[in-house]
Amino acid sequence: MSAASAVARPRLDPASFPSMGPGQLRPGRDNDAIDGLVPQAVITARETAHVVATIEEARAKKLAVVPSGGGTLLHVGAVPRAYDIRLSMTAIGNIVEENPEDMTVTCQAGVSLSRLQRSLAKQGQRLAIDAAREDRASIGGIVAANATGGLRHGFGLPRDLVLGATAIDGCGREIVAGGRVVKNVAGYDLVRLFAGSWGGLAILTELTLRTHPLPAAAATLVFEFVSASELDAARSRLAGAQLSLSAIDFTVDTTEAMPLWILVVRIEGTEEEVGWQGDAVCALVGRQPADAAEEWESPAHVDDGHGTSVRVAAAPQDIVGVVRDVCAKWKQSAASQGGQAAIRIAGHLGAGIARFHLAGAEAGEADTASAALITATAVGGLVRGRVIERAPAQLKALYDVWGPPPASIGLMRAIKRRFDPDDVLSPGRYVGGL
Amino acid sequence: MQDNSPRSFAERPVVAPATTQDALQAAPHLATAPPAGSDRRVVDAIREIVGPRGIVDGASARKVYECDGYTLEKSVPRLVVLPATTEETSRVVSVLAGAGIPFVPRGAGTGVSGGCLPLQSAVMIGTSRLRRIRSIDVEARTAEVEAGVVNLEVSRAVDAHGLYYAPDPSSQSACSIGGNVAENSGGPHTLKYGVTVNHVLALEVVLPDGRVIWLDREYDAPGYDLVGIFTGSEGTLGLVTAARVRLMRKPESVTTLLAVFPGVAQASRAVSAIIAAGIIPAALEMMDALVIEAVEAAYHFGFPAGAGAVLLIELDGIAAGLDALAARVHDCCTREGASEVKRAAGEEERALLWKSRKRAFGAMGRLAPAYCTQDGVVPRSRLPEIVAKIAEVASRYHLRIANLMHAGDGNIHPLVLYDEDVPGEVERVLAAGNEILTACIELGGSITGEHGIGIEKMALMPKSFTAPTLAAMEDIRTAFNPRGLCNPGKILPSSRTCVEVRRPRPRGGG
């Protein structure tokens, strides 16, 4: 039991939610916990009014609300200052309007990415976003986290694809930001403020997103290298080429005795474009692919729901070197401490992102190995950013899991105070204690 | 109208100059404050910081800064300061903040919504001397450039490396990066590549209290997307002094098509057909008969006589597949009634086609003494409806309205032609513009796609957003600009710092 949960919290009163039906409000259970904190209640909102009612109750009683979609990223964030209500948004999950001619879709926040994709596919379209566990991950959660997969290389981040958003902020205000058109500069772009704010300013209820045509043809090419420098040479040649690739990901599994450095290139377009680009990629890389497939799943989703995950950012030209250095450092320290666990590493070469995942192990051993991984990935030198995405709570409490607060943290706090004056939305979970 | 002006229309419409005197009579709050005579100490302190070259205080010199491309309202700034470095900018803002004097940032003055109009006797801070390209990182494809650097200069500076800066407003040979950030500028090629906000990684800004701060989202930096909220904030949250921008690799191949239609209805259906076919051109522009007439009269590009509308369609990417794509676009156009689809034979022809588009605004002077540019957006599939609405409004108000549009984005630019000497015509122009923008809202669109709210469209904000949404925007302004000293009286009509801006009476008007 952690110290925080021992502190007496104000109690939530179920009678404050007369409009909610049976099953919408239940006591929190162990598997609702975040960093060991079990919420008093889990509320399943079925309409926007339930979100507003939850926030009003939270403000009145000074309770902390953590919104959740599919729950696939709930582990990311600093140890909450408090956690009283988990507000599940998955029941607000309808697709409101598909506008294939406009290449936009409007949907509620709780819809899962895979359901949205299936629906869009019937119109020959898709959302150019890939995520881990797409059958569970909600679109609201993906946007709130600005969570990316390999397709960010070709299509940008989720925040670049969101045209409009409806959200309930920490004051209970319903804010209708942006619109349904692809170009819009009317007023401040609140959509961008909410995208990537991790539910700390407002809870997204509805989104309008830009869609893309489903490619007529596609190929995923897998290349294997025996060394980091070979992988980096291939990365460099691809980066300098006039190609239009959808993803350039990599992975390396150090559980293997002779780890292979694997490059995964995603090519999409017309038959002709895919064929030509495939040949061009092979020529640049200097070999034939070890494997090729039509499907796509980013190898970067290495987090298996347990253990420790750390995300590192560097300049694209530095990322492979950074990964090699971290591996060397980690091995040295883990070996010196007798650790046996191995890490899986994967990421996005074009964006300079790598995720290190240490699978779950025995408790004591895991803590030592996790601490070694955290030490090995510290920001400095070529490492420009580091987020401890998953780790044992006691370790998280020791580090700034988002890294040191940015220079602009004062402005962020000023914004937080205005959108969530009572600090009811995911308090303490974001960078700098936001 | 200067046909050879490097500033094309979009950013510099020449609207009916009601005289300054008329404007002042109608809008006394715009009256020029005495040139800081009462603030002698402040002026001295600022002069000390920027030196004599950084101060514009003579009455006639200041008059140059009385408006941007939105000329219906004018106000001569009490003082213009042109700092040469970020540090100078910061110190100037500190002095002003300390004295409680409002200030307004200004880039190249190519804006078209009055965003840099000095209200409340604001001091103007121009970025025209912040002209350094600080660094270029070819491998990472980024550049750090100061606010006053001209948009096109960035692309020129990296051209040899096969790179370019993608956002290309029509005024790109004059407008500045800082202004682009303030307005979140677009351009013809934003259809495929996005607007300014998609290309900015970090911003060096001077906050309204004088502090210098970097807003940074490079390397997936955690925290709220302050770069995203600052971009497009029209100079109301602070003053940009430098930006780190993303550079793009030039596409391997580009091809440009010109499709000729009997009318805008057919052309806008072809736009829908192209988008619905899953094709995302690099640019997809429309010009209607009136624009074509003006362009032909001015430049003789050889557009077929009597064409009702043309689409200018640019496709880019890898060479393989571009021919097939062009053929599909050709089919879409023919199916929707194009009488002719030409493909530019080479770079020269391509450049000529773009010249016709980018100079279209300048050519409008052939048709009328003045015109007013509107900027609205509709969902792309509603283009035929808004086009019909514009025609209906034109006929009801007895006005000629030419249509130039970033059709692929659903971004319309109706150009309302008029003659200020005709009694009552300016009022009809403004009313017609209002109706068109209201129709955009009703069709699910926006009152501005790239020109901004400025002072021009403040009155339409409550039609576009709910009261809680406007309150949330107010919160953003307060978080950055708590005393309201930075660019007061813009964007939000509810602002406590906002003064009522009245339209000047047109000359000879009732």
> In the structure, how many helices (H) and strands (E) does chain A have?
13, 19
Cα four-point dihedral sign A27, A32, A33, A39: negative
With CB atoms and an 8 Å threshold, state whether B321 touches A270: yes
> In the structure, how many helices (H) and strands (E) does chain B have?
17, 19
With CB atoms and an 8 Å threshold, state whether A185 touches B183: yes
pLDDT of residue B38: 53
Angle between helices A228-239 and A271-285 (to 10 degrees): 130
Q: DSSP code of A231?
A: H
Contact pairs from chain A to chain B, CB under 8 Å = 244
Strands (E) located in B69-147: 80-81, 103-106, 123-126, 133-137, 142-146
Distance of CA A246 to the CA centre of its chain: 19
Whether the CB of B411 is below 8 Å from some CB of chain A: the reply is yes
User: Which pLDDT tens digit goes with each residue over A222-273?
Assistant: 999 999 999 999 999 999 998 999 999 999 977 777 889 999 999 999 899 9
Closest CA to A208 of A109, A122, A134: A109
C-alpha B160/C-alpha B177 separation (Å) is 20
- B171 CA: distance to closest CA in chain A (Å): 18
pLDDT of residue B22: 39
Kindly tell me if the per-residue pLDDT of A409 is higher than 60.
yes
3-state SS assignment for residue B417: strand
pLDDT of residue B34: 47
Q: Which DSSP helix (H) or strand (E) runs through A213?
A: strand A212-213
Residues in chain A closer than 8 A to B459 (CB atoms): none
Q: Name every residue whose Cβ is closer than 8 Å to that of residue A425 and which is 6 or more positions away in sequence.
A: A55, A64, A65, A66, A67, A169, A170, A199, A200, A201, A202, A203
Neighbours of B59 (CB within 10 A): 9
Whether the CB of A52 is below 8 Å from some CB of chain B: the reply is no
User: Which pLDDT tens digit goes with each residue over A293-338?
Assistant: 999 999 988 888 888 999 999 999 999 999 999 988 888 886 666 5
Query: Phi first, then psi: what are they for A374, rounded to 5°?
Result: -65, -40
C-alpha B349/C-alpha B362 separation (Å) is 20
Query: Phi first, then psi: what are they for B376, rounded to 5°?
Result: -140, 165
- A99 CA: distance to closest CA in chain B (Å): 9
In this structure, chain A runs to a length of 434
Report A:350-409 residues touching B (Cβ under 8 A). Answer: 351-353, 384-385, 387, 402-403, 405-409
Q: DSSP code of A383?
A: B
Closest CA to A348 of A193, A152, A126: A152
Place of tokens 């792309």: B380
Query: Phi first, then psi: what are they for B315, rounded to 5°?
Result: -115, 140
3-state SS assignment for residue A112: strand
Q: What residue of A is the nearest CA neighbor of B323?
A: A272
Mean predicted confidence (pLDDT) in A114-138: 96
C-alpha B119/C-alpha B510 separation (Å) is 26
Place of tokens 């090519």: A267
Whether the CB of A320 is below 8 Å from some CB of chain B: the reply is no
C-alpha A366/C-alpha A98 separation (Å) is 46
- B126 CA: distance to closest CA in chain A (Å): 22
Closest CA to A389 of A307, A328, A297: A307
DSSP A57-105: HHHHHT--EEEESSSTTTT-SSPPS---EEEE-TTS--EEEEETTTTEE
Contact B308, B285 (CB under 8 A): no
Mutation target among B213, B219, B253 for the A interface, most CBs of A within 10 A: B219
With CB atoms and an 8 Å threshold, state whether A411 touches B213: yes
Contact B420, B17 (CB under 8 A): yes
pLDDT of residue B2: 36
Complex ipTM: 0.95
DSSP B341-394: EEE--SHHHHHHHHHHHHTHHHHGGGT-SEEEE--EE--GGGHHHHHHHHHHHH
C-alpha distances in Å from residue A194, one per residue of B160, B222, B468: 39, 13, 15
Q: Per the structure block, which two tokens stand in for B145?
A: 């450039």
Say which of A190, A409, A412 has its CB closest to residue B473: A190
Which of the four pLDDT bands, split at 50, 70 and 90, describes residue A426? very high
Whether the CB of A183 is below 8 Å from some CB of chain B: the reply is yes
Strands (E) located in B187-230: 200-206, 212-216
pLDDT of residue B363: 85
Residues in chain B closer than 8 A to A272 (CB atoms): 320-321, 324
User: Which pLDDT tens digit goes with each residue over A18-74?
Assistant: 888 888 999 999 999 999 999 999 999 999 999 999 999 999 999 999 999 999 999
Question: CB-hemisphere CA count at 13 Å for B208?
Answer: 25
Closest CA to A161 of A132, A187, A182: A182
pLDDT of residue A334: 66
Contact A191, A202 (CB under 8 A): no
Q: Name every residue whose Cβ is closer than 8 Å to that of residue B28 and which is 6 or more positions away in sequence.
A: none
- B34 CA: distance to closest CA in chain A (Å): 32
With CB atoms and an 8 Å threshold, state whether A412 touches B224: yes
Q: What phi-psi label fits residue A390: left (phi over 0), alpha (psi between -120 and 50 degrees) or beta? A: beta
pLDDT of residue A410: 98
Whether the CB of A217 is below 8 Å from some CB of chain B: the reply is no
C-alpha B270/C-alpha B203 separation (Å) is 39
Mutation target among B198, B220, B318 for the A interface, most CBs of A within 10 A: B220
pLDDT of residue A359: 81
C-alpha B476/C-alpha B325 separation (Å) is 44
With CB atoms and an 8 Å threshold, state whether B381 touches A214: no
3-state SS assignment for residue B185: coil
Contact B384, B26 (CB under 8 A): no
Q: DSSP code of B176?
A: B
3-state SS assignment for residue B418: strand
Kindly tell me if the per-residue pLDDT of A203 is higher than 60.
yes
Strands (E) located in B208-306: 212-216, 239-246, 248-249, 253-261, 283-288
Closest CA to B333 of B281, B293, B401: B281
Residues in chain A closer than 8 A to B197 (CB atoms): 189, 192
- A334 CA: distance to closest CA in chain B (Å): 27
Mutation target among A126, A181, A267 for the B interface, most CBs of B within 10 A: A181
Contacts 24+ apart (CB under 8 A), B345-354: B349/B256, B350/B254, B350/B255, B350/B256, B352/B301, B353/B256, B353/B258, B353/B301, B353/B312, B354/B256, B354/B312
Strands (E) located in B89-129: 103-106, 123-126
* pLDDT mean values, one per 10 residues, chain B (510 residues): 34 34 39 54 95 93 92 90 98 97 96 93 97 95 97 97 94 96 93 95 98 96 98 98 96 94 94 89 94 87 85 92 93 96 90 84 85 92 93 96 94 93 91 96 96 94 96 97 96 58 36
pLDDT of residue A70: 95
- A337 CA: distance to closest CA in chain B (Å): 32
Contact A88, A203 (CB under 8 A): no
Q: String of b and e for A208-230 (b: at least 16 CB within 10 Å)?
A: bbbbbbebebbbbbbbebeebeb
Kindly tell me if the per-residue pLDDT of A391 is higher than 50.
yes
- A190 CA: distance to closest CA in chain B (Å): 7
3-state SS assignment for residue A34: strand
pLDDT of residue A404: 93
Residues in chain B closer than 8 A to A175 (CB atoms): 466, 468-469, 472
Whether the CB of B176 is below 8 Å from some CB of chain A: the reply is no
Residues in chain A closer than 8 A to B326 (CB atoms): none
C-alpha A80/C-alpha A74 separation (Å) is 11
C-alpha B66/C-alpha B244 separation (Å) is 30
Kindly tell me if the per-residue pLDDT of A361 is higher than 70.
no
Closest CA to B316 of B325, B327, B303: B325
Say which of B220, B320, B475 has its CB closest to residue A272: B320
Report B:14-73 residues touching A (Cβ under 8 A). Answer: none
Question: CB-hemisphere CA count at 13 Å for A390?
Answer: 19
Say which of B140, B469, B479 has its CB closest to residue A414: B479
pLDDT of residue A332: 82
Closest CA to B45 of B97, B102, B92: B92
Q: What residue of B is the nearest CA neighbor of A196?
A: B224
